[in-house]
């Protein structure tokens, strides 16, 4: 896979809580160096799960070359990787209505 360079990554999460079933869902929008790069489909996940969704997309699309993975299945946090690489990362999150995902 071809690696891609990013200097500034902004991740914008949107969360929706389904009160009937008690589940939280999210979407994530990724902005790389001021350009829209990706918007995910609605996925299950609460709290900061949108960051994991973003990290998975960034890695799958060549933006995180050399990110560390552990034998137990865990991996290097995105904030730690970007700090080690001299990249800037920011994130915001909004709790929204389902139609705003």
In a domain, residue 36? The reply is yes
In a domain, residue 4? The reply is no
Write the DSSP symbol of residue 100.
Answer: G
- Give the residue numbers spanning the domain of 39: 10-100
Cβ proximity of 54 and 48 under 8 Å: no
Task: Give the separation between CA 82 and CA 7, rounded to whole angstroms.
Answer: 9
Tally of CB atoms within 10 A around 26: 25
**pLDDT tens string 33-87:** 999 999 999 999 999 999 999 999 999 999 999 999 989 988 899 999 999 999 9
In a domain, residue 2? The reply is no
Task: Give the separation between CA 23 and CA 76, rounded to whole angstroms.
Answer: 27
Number of domains in the chain: 1
- Answer whether 0.85 is exceeded by the pTM: yes
In a domain, residue 3? The reply is no
In a domain, residue 26? The reply is yes
Q: In sequence order, what DSSP letters do the residues of 30-41 get, joined into one string?
A: EEETTEEEEEPP
Bridge partners, residue 13, by sequence: 28, 93
In a domain, residue 51? The reply is yes
């Amino acid at each position: 896979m071809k690696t891609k360079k990013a200097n500034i990554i902004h991740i914008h999460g949107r969360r929706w809580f389904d009160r009937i079933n008690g589940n939280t869902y999210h979407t994530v929008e990724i902005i790389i160096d001021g350009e829209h790069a990706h918007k995910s489909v609605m996925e299950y996940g609460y709290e900061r799960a949108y960051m994991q969704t973003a990290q998975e997309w960034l890695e799958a699309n060549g933006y995180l070359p050399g990110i560390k993975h552990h034998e137990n299945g865990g991996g290097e946090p995105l904030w730690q990787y970007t700090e080690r690489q001299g990249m800037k990362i920011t994130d915001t999150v909004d709790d929204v209505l389902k139609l705003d995902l």
